[in-house]
Amino acid sequence: MDKIHIPVLLEESITALNIDPNGFYIDCTLGDGGHSYKILSRLSSQGLLLSIDRDQNAIDFVKEYYEIPSNWIIEKDNFSNIKNVLERLNISRNPSGILMDLGLSSRQLESSKNRGFSYQEDNESLDMRMDTDLNVNALDLLKALNEKELSKLFKLYGEERYAKPIARAIKENTSDISTVGDLTSLIYKVVPVASNNKNPSRRVFQALRIAVNDELNSLKEGLDSAFEVLSTDGRLLVITFHSLEDRIVKRFFNEKEDNKEGKIISKTPVIPNEKELQENHRSSSAKLRILGKI
Ligand SMILES: C[S@@+](CC[C@H](N)C(=O)[O-])C[C@H]1O[C@@H](n2cnc3c(N)ncnc32)[C@H](O)[C@@H]1O
């Protein structure tokens, strides 16, 4: 079996959720079910957990891996549609806690079913859709956008210094690009090797993935809707993995506090301790922010 995703900041999130055994909780990013399962273990049979993921593979994995009791509902959707999901399921309860653990699970990265999320999987297609019902994949974007648009995308969503030469090289060689390896070898030719050993394709892959899945808009819409449905005194928790996401969350939380609608529980973001950093290198950029609804 593929390696299961190790949940990040698990104890910290569960503590911050302040779980009432009879309460209702929403995990917006089911992944491999690590956070969800821990929440479920704190609930009585009167409690309810709704877990959402836009990737059908994640849902299939969890349904096979865990026994699913009747108070654990799992739905495929974008968490930006959280209000529609509640309506569709006829749930009128307001949740006491909502969790978003953003980005990808390690299983999506390492065994992505040929979706090319990782720049290390040379033979995979340049797809990058979390939800395979989406119409446009990463290769479509590389073909459809012109040099200027591509360069802007790499700069904006990847904060990539070499956005211009990478975009130029891609447009000069578009017909030769179809796999992850085709793109990474082109980037290797254009970008000077980084001194910190970071793969020079990292930022371009981040940018493409954000664009294909419209991740930042989903996050903005998701935060708005989640806060709206959250019960008074409920808590909204978000774990981010890069500065673009974290900036959006920080701004949203500040706005809610300024408007006296919310109270920031985490004055500085919660980050993994030494033990977690050593045991799970993927946790290294994680930041957990916690907002209470007033
Ligand atoms: C980091 S993983 C979550 C891991 C999970 N907490 C665990 O312990 O296994 C992020 C998951 O969120 C999903 N996801 C990302 N953005 C989403 C969105 N806008 N709507 C729904 N699911 C999303 C991804 O498909 C992925 O499965």
**Which numbered atom of ligand 1 lies nearest the CA of 218?**
19
Model confidence band, residue 192 (pLDDT cutoffs 50, 70, 90): confident
- Ligand 1 close to Cβ of residue 101 (< 6 A): yes
C-alpha 77/C-alpha 176 separation (Å) is 34
Contact 49, 25 (CB under 8 A): yes
Q: What's the order of all strands across the beta sheet hosting 48-53?
A: 72-76, 48-53, 24-27, 97-101, 235-240, 287-293, 262-264
- Ligand 1 close to Cβ of residue 54 (< 6 A): yes
**Which numbered atom of ligand 1 lies nearest the CA of 99?**
6
Query: Could you tell me the fold of the domain covering 135-212?
Result: DNA polymerase; domain 1 (1.10.150)
* 161-172 pLDDT tens trace: 999 999 999 999
* 88-122 pLDDT tens trace: 999 999 999 999 999 999 989 887 788 999 999 99
How far, in Å, is the centroid of ligand 1 from the Cα of 267?
Answer: 25
Pocket test for ligand 1, best of 2, 9, 30 (most atoms within 8 A of CB): 30
**Which numbered atom of ligand 1 lies nearest the CA of 5?**
9
Picking from 125, 109, 122, 95, the residue whose alpha carbon sits closest to that of residue 25 is: 95
The boundaries of every CATH 1.10.150.170 domain in the chain are: 135-212
The boundaries of every CATH 3.40.50.150 domain in the chain are: 10-108+215-293
Model confidence band, residue 18 (pLDDT cutoffs 50, 70, 90): very high
Model confidence band, residue 15 (pLDDT cutoffs 50, 70, 90): very high
State the architecture of 10-108+215-293 in CATH terms.
3-Layer(aba) Sandwich (3.40)
* 39-63 pLDDT tens trace: 999 999 999 999 999 999 999 999 9
pTM of the complete model beyond 0.85: yes
Tokens, residue 276:
């977690």
Contact 22, 47 (CB under 8 A): yes
**Which numbered atom of ligand 1 lies nearest the CA of 33?**
9
How far, in Å, is the centroid of ligand 1 from the Cα of 269?
Answer: 20
Report which protein residue has its CA nearest ligand 1's atom 20: 78
